[in-house]
Chains A and B, each alone.
Chain A
Amino acid sequence: VRLRHLTVFHGRLSPRACSQRARHSLFLPLVSIAFCLWQMVPALATDRLVKREILALFDSREDPQQFTHIHKLAEMPLNHLGYSVVYWDIERGLPDVRSIERYKGVLTWFGRDLAKPELYLPWAAEVVDRGLKLVILGQIGVPLEPRYLENINAILGDIGLKHTGQFVEVPFSAQVIVKDAAVMEFERKLDPVIHGFPLLTADRPDLVSHLTLASSRGARAQSSVLVATSPRGGFVADDFAFVYEAALDRVSWIINPFKFFQLAFGQERTPIPDVTTLDGNRIYFSHIDGDGWNNVSQIEHFAKAGTMSSEVVLKELVEPFADLPVTVGLIAGDVDPELGGDPSGRPIARRFFALPHVEVGSHTYTHPYTWQYFERYQREDENKLIEGQQRVERRMYDRAIGNIMRMAGKEKPQQIHQRYIAGSSELPRSYLRRPYELDMEVEGSLRAAEQLAPTGKRALLYQWSGDTTPYEAVIRATREAGVRNINGGDSRYDMDYPSVAYVPPIGRSVGAERQIYAVNSNENTYTNDWTGPYYGFRKLDETIRKTDGPRRLKAYNLYYHMYSGEKPAALDAVRQHLNTARNGEFIPISASHYAAIADSFYDVEIRQLAENQWRVAKRGDLQTLRFDDAADLTLDLSASVGVMGERRHGPALYLALDPDVDEPVVTLRPGSVPDPLPDVEKSGGSIQLIASRWRISDLVRGDCGFKANAEGFGPGRMAWKGMAPGRYTLTAKRSGKALWEQEVVVDQARRMDVSVPSDAIVPLMLELACAPGN
């Protein structure tokens, strides 16, 4: 069966498959060999690397990278379309034009004119001359002066537009000449009051206008193409991409960014590396930041016993949900008495980490609030800040309380406001006794967490704290420590944040490093910075629902803090989500696994071998490819290698790759229903995984069934298809020993749904075989 992996070579039949076919051929062997060569040669010629990178130019005089429109608004849709965004600060100069051919295109979204337009213009002209797509949103970055106009039009002309250099005022209402419903008014209708717009005209026949407005009616009307795409890129005039509503401090898209970028950067069908789905199911993962570890719970029956919030979380949310993995990020300072922490939190950490479904994480050592502060850290400055805080500390209040207590003959209560423990983000970090050290913050905190874990259980995730904007060196330190990183992004998509604009990209590039964003926001934003109402986190389900359809934008990430153990409503809210995850169609994985998948997204290399065939390399931990608008296509299993199965979600087709195959080949063919292979006995060759709650790997299809490795949390609910109808035996084995066995039935639709009750945190093997007599 392994040989089946080799039957396709560059989109056509491999030499081995060819020779096998030649043996059964009616033709002479020589003719067969010629046929094989004919099959192979053109395939080699069409091998082409799919460009997945977009070069984003930004002007750091306007905003730092993470606050640019491109990062805040455009990058997520681009990620969804399979593109990774490479940022370039135009203040640093311009990238060498010879090095840009690896990019699919260039994206700009300037808010004002560049400092040196005379340098930018020829560079941009060269870019378009080299055939890169150019997509301009907002301002062009160059003053609309006659001296620049020709150069501006040299760039816009490639897209298919011509700028007249003029701005048209709209006396009353703009007349809509063209409004493409597929691209326009995605979240927000066009405001009827439009004061004016720049005057651009179409200059190429293949330019598609998505929005053309005329300044008025009648003969004096001047019309302008304001949103357009062409085979060479796209353009959206300033004020027509999105709207900022100042009264509510909210933005919403006017254009459909998914459709617009798809049209602007090219519509050719390519597989999209997908970070939301694994083995056909939406990914679920959970992680807890350690904040509030030592807080005494206010939940009635725990409060009486003085139970810490962390212990409440352990007892109520972690131990009862052994089928759902969770990463616990300990703040090492919280349990380090030298820094002011409480060592009584250590046993709780040990209990957490001893659980097999708990992954060891670190939520830093001293809990920095403002990471950028530590990039150029000076202890003297920090000391001054500490001193400044001490002066405003409630000393008089503390003294008064102390005196009253002393007079009453009672002990003075423990001083909450200790000198070197920050109670809020007014100081740069929580634990300030020792000077900040990068090694201590990363490596030290990871080792501190590991010391509380069973021997050999490594910390695998670093969870950013505070403002979650780490600098390059600290991200590098996590990578060098061999762990993944996560947090930041604060994804929301609900009535309060009513736009997909609040769904962040997969991560943030920081110099040569990358920060992976958490997939969902945590309870802090849902509870008004933990001021209540504390059940607010329930509303996470709205974001989960809206990011699953009509297009699946994100996985399901249950991200919260230990302080959720303080309040009954907060605890219930988390429990509600755990129950949703337990009962829903998800594949639970660890948070570090998700971070690894997300990191892998940026490195995936895809080569097109033939019209509907691609080879995928360097995919790391990413095991899902997606095709959008693929209702008319289906997986061609016979011409694919290392593809375990397909599943549809809306118009998208998700393909599950076999992690044990280094470079899978994906082939699609027209049709919506997969056909069994005609030349394979019985049905084994057409077996496909539909969805699984466990991770499946090393799938080997046999004549009557399959073998595969499986690993996961909780019961192994899974669905397969393609077997011949009848009775089969499904066995779960570990080290050759059967753990569980059951007769299963493949129905007339050739589908099998089964739930394996074994524990698969330690991998096991699944074996499906024809039942005797079948």
Chain B
Amino acid sequence: MLARYLFLAVIALGALVAAVKLAPGDLERLAMLERDGRHEQAMGELQQLYSEGQRGPELMRRLFNLEIRFGLVDEARQVLEEYARLRPSDSEAQMGLIRFYQTNQLEEPYVATLRAQYERTRSRELLSELLGFYRISGRFRDEEDILERTALANRAGPAEFERLGLLAAARGDLQVAARALRRADGRVDEPSRAARLGLFRVLVELKELDEAHQRCLAWLRTWRDPELAVELMETFSQAGRADLALDIGARFGGPGNDVTLASAEILNDQGRHGEVLQKLREYQSGGLPEDRDRAQRFISISASSGGAEMALRAARLVGMRKLEGSVILDLLDSLQDALEVNSTGFPIDLLKGFSAEIDARVQNSIPVALEAGDRLVLADDMRLFATQLAILDRDRDLARKHLAAIDPDRLNTFDLSRWTELQVASGLRSTAFPNVPTNWRRRDRTDMVSRRVRRVERTPQPTEVQAIRPRQTGGTAQPSAGIWPPINASPDAQNAQSAQQDTNSARAQRNRRRAAALERQRERSRQASLRRSQQIQGGNVAPKSAPPPLPPLQPQPFLAPAIGSGG
């Protein structure tokens, strides 16, 4: 019996212990409250437990969530900050804190926590977020600092090294820039073109030209980018190491390759005309350039280095209409030189029909035609040469037209004699101008360079074409020179230049065009009214007076006007 009672007592005690053990704890009870939708009560009890010093993770999480649910932001912040502080290595807790600060737009705690977490984890996502924040806030020094730390920790990728290098370069710290950009360059996943160019320029600036050259060669071997090669060559050339530039040209040039053209330009700048022509021949062995910009460069280089024939062929291939006025002037200059010497054996046949093309180019550009962005306006000496070309083509009308466009009062003595003789040749005059002393008419031989210098030095005429010759189009880089005065130029010099620019400004040119158009319109009106008055007076339009019969055209040898022929 006793045993039975004892057994029952043990059973009862066991049940009691089990009941006590199985009874829900605080958190379970609070979870039940939440499940029942009694959130406020649950939160109150959790807050009580928290204030009693309980810091269990589950309690704190629940409390935080409930406080957020009721929008108790300050209380929730306190709980979360403590939770994260107690668990510095708990990534989830730290991220929760970061997102809390971000959501609540608490900028400084957000950045500080984000940075601290990044320092702990070196996570690329966090780095990206941190860098983005620094950039948009304009905190570039902080950005550089975190990039440096990332680089020191060997966690930086090419993009980070690149940005670090460029930031350091911008700050003028070329040593740091070079270090960072070298590391960017050494990566398998290649850095951007900007980074490599940045490194290249840093090296050039640091006078590490041989390293720059070696790196260039390596890049170009993998990239095979003629545009980049040209850019590097130009930089070497500007740094006074044309030899390195030409070396690149020699390695990566070829027929029809821009690198070859750039080599020719560098050689041309050095006055090595023979080698220029050799390069140009190499270039054109793959065919003459049909692309406008390349053709223009080709023509300019060949024209200025004595390759008039080559230039003319290229010009006629691409078409006069597409060429800039300055290029055509270069070409005409070169042709004039070549034909004066004549010993070069210039094939005259190539000039057949050329005068008409020149004239068409001039004519097409007179109205404000959209295709003719720049106008070809022939100065008097070029007019005289164009007249000679017309006479060669037996185009008497064109020759006369050119001559008519020349105001003899403007001509110097030599050109005046040419003009007179061409008038004779074109049938406008029976004899040459008699009063010019023979020794005045003698023209000194001038070399090509001084001729070019003369043309450049010539006082710019109001409607003269502007020399615009970018080598590349669109957004590609191209150094330029001479258009803007140096930064340290005196104000007077700048003013003088701006005054000169003003007379040649687009507005001034447009005004002049308008004035000319207005004048033409007036002239047309005047003639129309004259015709009307004639009709009224005579009942018929008076017949135009017929031009006087022209003498048969005398083909002239294509030389400078025969000196002394009018004597």
Where the two chains meet, the residues of A that have a C-beta atom closer than 8 Å to any C-beta of B are 118, 121-122, 125, 143-151, 153-154, 156-158, 162, 164-169, 171-173, 175, 177, 185, 188-189, 191-196, 199, 201-203, 205, 214, 217, 219-224, 243, 245-248, 250, 252, 298, 300, 303-304, 494-496, 498, 532-536, 538-539, 542, 567-569, 572-573
Contacts and interface: CB of A to CB of B under 8 A. Distances in A.
A165 B476 CA distance: 10
Contacts of B194: 195
Nearest to A536: B103
Nearest to B106: A495
B538 to A, nearest CB: 41
Interface in B364-396: 368, 370-374
Contact of A157 (B372, B480, B506): B506
Contacts of B172: 172-173
Given A205-B498, A573-B71, 11 more contacts: A121-B370, A149-B468, A154-B506, A154-B507, A162-B505, A165-B468, A214-B487, A217-B487, A221-B487, A498-B136, A538-B73
Contacts of A154: 506-507, 510
Given A245-B135, A572-B71, A144 B473 contact: yes
Nearest to A303: B37
Contacts, number: 192
B169 interface: yes
Nearest to A238: B475
B470 interface: yes
A163 to B, nearest CB: 9
Given A149-B374, A166-B470, A203-B505, A188 B138 contact: yes
Which of B70, B103, B487 gathers most chain A CB within 10 Å?
B487
Contacts of A221: 486-487
B38 interface: yes
Which of B105, B198, B488 gathers most chain A CB within 10 Å?
B105
Nearest to A148: B373
18 contacts: A121-B370, A144-B473, A151-B370, A151-B373, A157-B506, A171-B201, A173-B171, A222-B480, A246-B132, A247-B128, A252-B136, A300-B40, A535-B73, A539-B104, A568-B70, A569-B69, A572-B71, A573-B71
A150 B105 contact: no
B295 interface: no
Given A202-B498, A245-B135, A192 B171 contact: yes
Given A143-B474, A158-B507, A177 B370 contact: no
B67 to A, nearest CB: 10
B470 A165 contact: yes
Which of A144, A171, A196 gathers most chain B CB within 10 Å?
A171
Contact of B324 (A146, A246, A572): A146
A192 B70 contact: no
A133 B124 CA distance: 48
A496 B105 contact: yes
Closest 4 CB pairs of A and B: A247-B132, A147-B373, A569-B71, A189-B138
B533 interface: no
B507 A300 contact: no
Contacts of A203: 498, 501-502, 505-507
Contacts of B201: 171-172
Contacts of A192: 140, 167, 170-171
Interface of B: 37-40, 68-71, 73, 102-105, 107, 128-129, 131-133, 135-138, 140, 163, 166-167, 169-172, 174, 177, 194, 197-198, 201-202, 205, 238, 324, 368, 370-374, 466, 468-470, 473-480, 483-484, 486-488, 498, 501-502, 505-507, 509-510
Nearest to A203: B505
Contact of B374 (A150, A188, A193): A150
A259 B238 CA distance: 41
B181 to A, nearest CB: 11
Contacts of A175: 487
A746 B202 CA distance: 74
Secondary structure at chain A's binding surface: helix, strand, loop or mixed? mixed
A172 B202 contact: yes
A216 to B, nearest CB: 9
B319 to A, nearest CB: 13
Contacts of B510: 125, 154, 157
A177 B485 CA distance: 13
Contacts of B372: 147
A175 B140 CA distance: 17
Given A151-B370, A164-B480, A300 B73 contact: no
Contact of A539 (B105, B205, B473, B479): B105
B166 A568 contact: no
A316 B550 CA distance: 106
B136 A245 contact: yes
Which of A121, A185, A250, A495 gathers most chain B CB within 10 Å?
A495
A156 B38 CA distance: 70
Contacts of B135: 191, 243, 245, 247
A219 to B, nearest CB: 5
B170 A304 contact: no
Contacts of A162: 501, 505-506
A704 B474 CA distance: 73
Contacts of A224: 484
Contacts of B374: 146-147, 149-150
A433 B477 CA distance: 60
B175 to A, nearest CB: 13
A223 B497 CA distance: 15
Given A157-B505, A248-B132, A122 B370 contact: yes
Contacts of A202: 498
Nearest to A498: B136
Nearest to B471: A166
Given A144-B474, A191-B135, A203-B505, A222 B39 contact: no
B483 A199 contact: yes
A421 to B, nearest CB: 26
A589 B473 CA distance: 57
Nearest to A169: B477
Contacts of B136: 188, 243, 245, 248, 250, 252, 498
A452 to B, nearest CB: 31
B174 to A, nearest CB: 8
A687 B82 CA distance: 59
B71 A245 contact: no
A205 B507 CA distance: 13
Contacts of B71: 533-535, 538, 568-569, 572-573
Contacts of A243: 135-136
A549 to B, nearest CB: 18
Contacts of A125: 510
Contacts of B131: 247
Contacts of A144: 470, 473-475
A572 B71 CA distance: 8
A470 B138 CA distance: 38
Contact of B170 (A172, A177, A303): A172
Nearest to A190: B138
Given A150-B374, A167-B477, A248-B132, A533 B103 contact: yes
A143 B476 CA distance: 12
A252 B478 CA distance: 30
A158 B505 CA distance: 10
A479 B502 CA distance: 54
A461 B39 CA distance: 38
Contacts of B469: 146
Contacts of A149: 373-374, 468
A300 B132 contact: no
A122 B466 CA distance: 20
Contact of A147 (B171, B371, B466, B505): B371
A245 B373 contact: no
Given A536-B103, A569-B68, A193 B166 contact: yes
Given A172-B205, A193-B170, A568 B69 contact: yes
Contacts of A191: 135, 140
Contacts of A199: 480, 483-484
